[in-house]
Amino acid sequence: MVNSDSEQLPDYSSQIITVRPDRETATLQKLPYFVGISGATAGAKGISMNLVIIPAGGAAEPHFHRDYETAIYLIKGRVETRYGQGLSQSVINEAGDFLFIPAGVPHQPHNLSDTEAAHAIVSRNDPNEQENVVLYNPNIE
């Protein structure tokens, strides 16, 4: 098993890797991420998978992912995701839902509960955790 804060990484090319994140990682989106599978933690070349927690009443910074798609599985909670140009569209998801966000689509998830955190698994076809995240200002088009 590899902790996500390991400094020297072994050759992963022929190993099955288990990662147990032991601390949250700060993100541009301003949400707590627990980095699971990535280029840095597992030697992944084309995928990343992380746990994100949206605090009660919390929301991410509006953003989009340059050059990669995102798939999300909502484990716990109820989340409204505003998306599209000016964040003018909206979808509400609850535990058990899968979401797909195409590359380049601006979005902002918001936890609809004022008392419980929402938990989701986020997977992307990019092994890097933050390099292609771009903050988005919905007021400037």
Q: What confidence tier does 128 reach under pLDDT thresholds 50, 70, 90?
A: confident
More confident residue, 57 or 141: 57
| 47-56, 66-75, 111-120, 127-136: segment of lowest average pLDDT | 127-136
How many other β-carbons are positioned within 10 Å of the β-carbon of residue 102?
Answer: 12
Q: What is the pLDDT of residue 4?
A: 54
110 neighbors 82 (Cβ within 8 angstroms): yes
Domains and CATH numbers, the chain: 33-135 (2.60.120.10)
SS3 41: helix
Q: What is the pLDDT of residue 5?
A: 54
Tell me how far apart the alpha carbons of residues 125 and 23 are, in angstroms, rounded to a whole number: 23
52 neighbors 32 (Cβ within 8 angstroms): yes
Q: What is the pLDDT of residue 75?
A: 98
For the record, the structure tokens of 28 come out as 């541009």
Q: What confidence tier does 15 reach under pLDDT thresholds 50, 70, 90?
A: confident
Q: What is the pLDDT of residue 16?
A: 92
The answer, yes or no, to whether residue 67 has pLDDT greater than 90, is no
For the record, the structure tokens of 58 come out as 């919390």
Percent of the chain's residues with pLDDT above 90: 68
The answer, yes or no, to whether residue 92 has pLDDT greater than 70, is yes
Report the predicted TM-score, pTM, of the whole model to 2 decimal places.
0.84
User: Phi and psi of 83, rounded to 5°?
Assistant: -155, 170
